Every structure is written in C-alpha cells, then in structure tokens.
Amino acid sequence: MIKSWIRRMTRIEGESRLIRDSFQKYVRSHREFVDIAEQRAIVLMPEQESAWKVMFGLQRLLAERQLLRFEYLLDRDESARPRWAKLSDIESRVEGGWSETEEGELLRASQHYAKMSESINAFRGKLNAQNLDAQLQFLQEDSHYRRARFDLGDNARTLGKEFTLAISKGK
C-alpha cells in the first residue's frame, strides 16, 4: 500500500515537473518573439517607440500573468489539479477559463501578482491600439518579424508535440 502511494506520488511529481517545464518553455518562446517584434518595430518606426514599448510591455506582463496563474493552478492540491492534454489547454485555462474567485485568491496570496495586475491595468490605460493598426500591418510585412513569427509557431508546435507525447506516456 505504501509503495503504491510512493509510486503514485513520484509519477505525479514527475508529471507536474514536465507540465511546468513545458509551459515555461512555451511562454519563454512567446517572450522571445515579443522581444524581436519590439526591436523590429522600433527599428522600422522609431517615431512610435513609446507606443511600441507600451504595447510590447503589456505583452510581457500578460505572459508573466499566465505563468503566475499557471503556477497557482499547478500548486493546488492534487484533487483540484486539472489534467491538460495540450499546451494550448493550459493557455486557454489561465486566460478564458480563469474565474473571479481564482483571481481574488491569487491577488490576496501574491503581492507580486497584485502589483503586476496593477501594471497591466496601467499599461492598458496607456495603450492606444487604434493608433498602431497601420504600423502593426507594416511591421507584419517585415521579413525579420515574419521569420520570428514563423519560428514562434514552429517552436510552439514542437513543444506541443513533445508535451502531448510525454503526457500520453505518463498515463
């Protein structure tokens, strides 16, 4: 009985580590893309630098929020731990599937999360997305940007396949 429990806990810890590592790589890949996109935007349209800094700064904060929400979910007790089949399931859960109750709990539990949420709201207040629409279309035509976007998608697919394969082996 005890050996069975130890094997089960070891498997759960290994699965949690795999899920955590995979999602962190997934978000890191997105951050790398954001860094390249920001650099290209500033090179191509330096007169809009402050607007780009706000837009891409917001993207970085939103990625950080995803990670903090994800850690919160993963660290909950085992019975509450969700099962994810794909990395995109995690992303969907920490964005669209995030509840007001969870938000309140995490705001109370983490001063860092609370400050980051305030920063997100401040950045959103500064963001004038309508002002960047034409510039964003121009940026999306840049070959360096397109390459980075392609690499992001390619990396996400590779990480997703590795994640799905590893999770299916663990079941």
> Are 40 and 98 a contacting pair, CB within 8 Å?
no
CA distance 89 to 82: 10
The domain spans of the chain are: 2-170
Task: Tell me what the mean pLDDT of segment 30-36 comes to.
Answer: 94
Read off the DSSP letter of residue 96.
Answer: T
* pLDDT tens-place string over residues 88-122: 888 889 998 899 999 999 999 999 999 999 999 99
Q: Could you tell me the pTM of the whole model?
A: 0.83
Sequential DSSP letters for 70-91: HHHHHHS-GGG----SSHHHHH
Q: For helices 49-75 and 129-140, give the axis angle rounded to 10 degrees.
A: 90
User: Residue 165: what pLDDT?
Assistant: 77
pLDDT band at 7 (very low <50, low <70, confident <90, very high): low
User: Residue 128: what pLDDT?
Assistant: 66
User: Residue 5: what pLDDT?
Assistant: 47
